[in-house]
Amino acid sequence: MAEQAKGGSSKALKGGIGTPLSNTLTIAAREFRAYFNGPMGYIVVTMFTLFVGLLFFFLFGTLVLRRATLQPLFTSMSALLPLLCAALSMRSFSEENQRGTIELLITLPVRDSDVVVGKFIGSMGVLLVTLLATVSYPIAMSRMGDLDSGPIIGGYIGILLGGGAYIAIGMVASSYVKDQLTSFIVTVIISYVLYFVDKTLIFLPQGIASTFEYFCTDFHFKSIARGLIDSRNIVYFGSVIAAGLVVATRSLNSRRWS
């Protein structure tokens, strides 16, 4: 580095620049640890697990399902997922902007996309830890009878994909607003609109309804939770995630120009 730097007198100097992969993973690891260096990670994991549990047993009780089924568990998780993801993503950029730490981060030789993808992976890591905490419920249920592993795996994949979509949306919100609470509220509103959009379809004509249905997260989620992992579902969640990350990267880049 310095040696390199001293070498050339006429040509441009160049120091160490990491590869996109190594930068992304470094940022992801820092992001992940940041949740658990403070109380945030523990609070989020505990609250989500607790509320999912409460809702699950409430639904399970009211539905009087005598057989062992995990459908209410995934219904509970998908209903609470927007809150969890909004809480996970709100700090990604809002906190950095608020504290000014973004200045030190993006003046390091990292690409804007390394920062955005790294932060996304870090938040996904926390989501994964949270979901692992809920595995206690299927384990408890398995004592009541045999469980079909297909829908369980499908359900978790669906939650993870849906969570990824909500986190990507939350990162966009977080990259535009300085205040964490505002970011949280905006993310929750957008996520629930996407979640509930298929519940309003009865008021719409058939042709438009199916289009709207495609934009609904819950529609795709239910499809995956049945154990059918269709490419349409993957494409949907993948597109939302990709679009979110692209917009967040552009937002981060545009702050230089404003």
Partner 1 sequence: MATDVMIEARDLSKRYGTYSAIDRLNFSIRRGEVVGFLGPNGAGKSTTMRVLTCFIAPSSGTAKVGGNDVFENPLAARSVVGYLPQRAPLYQEMGVIEYLQFVAKLRAIPTTEHRARIKKVIEICGLGDALLKDSIGELSKGYQQRVGLAQALLHDPPILILDEPTSDLDPIEKAEFIEYIRAIGKDRTVMLSTHNLAEVEASCPRVLIVSKGKLAADGAPSDLANRSGKARYVIEIDAKPAKGSGTVAASDVIEAARGIDSKLDVSSINTESGTVGVQALGSSDKDIRRELFALAVSKGWTLLELRKDVVQLEEVFRELTVGDAKAGDRIAAAGMKKNESKSKPASKDEDEDDDAEDKE
Residues in touch with partner 1 (CB under 8 A): 1-2, 5-6, 9-18, 22-23, 26-27, 30, 33-34, 37-38, 99-101, 103-104, 106-111, 255-258
Closest to partner 1 by CB, 231 or 258: 258
Closest to partner 1 by CB, 38 or 61: 38
| C-alpha dist (Å) from residue 46 to 53, 57, 134, 136 | 10, 17, 10, 13
Closest to partner 1 by CB, 15 or 205: 15
Neighbours of 200 (CB within 10 A): 12
Q: How far is the CB of 18 from partner 1 (least distance, A)?
A: 4
Burial 97-125 (b: 16+ CB within 10 A, else e): beeeebeeebeeebbbbbbbbbbbbbbbb
Closest to partner 1 by CB, 5 or 228: 5
- Give the span between the Cα atoms of 141 and 66, in whole angstroms: 12
Q: How far is the CB of 254 from partner 1 (least distance, A)?
A: 9
Q: How far is the CB of 256 from partner 1 (least distance, A)?
A: 4
Closest to partner 1 by CB, 33 or 232: 33
CA angle 202, 204, 210 (to 5 degrees): 90
Q: How far is the CB of 214 from partner 1 (least distance, A)?
A: 37
The alpha carbon of residue 97 and the mean position of all alpha carbons in its chain are separated, in whole angstroms, by: 20
Through-space distance between the first and last CA atoms of the chain, rounded to whole angstroms: 32
Q: How far is the CB of 102 from partner 1 (least distance, A)?
A: 8
**DSSP of 107-120, one letter per residue?**
TSS--HHHHHHHHH
Closest to partner 1 by CB, 26 or 71: 26
Neighbours of 197 (CB within 10 A): 17
Q: How far is the CB of 41 from partner 1 (least distance, A)?
A: 11
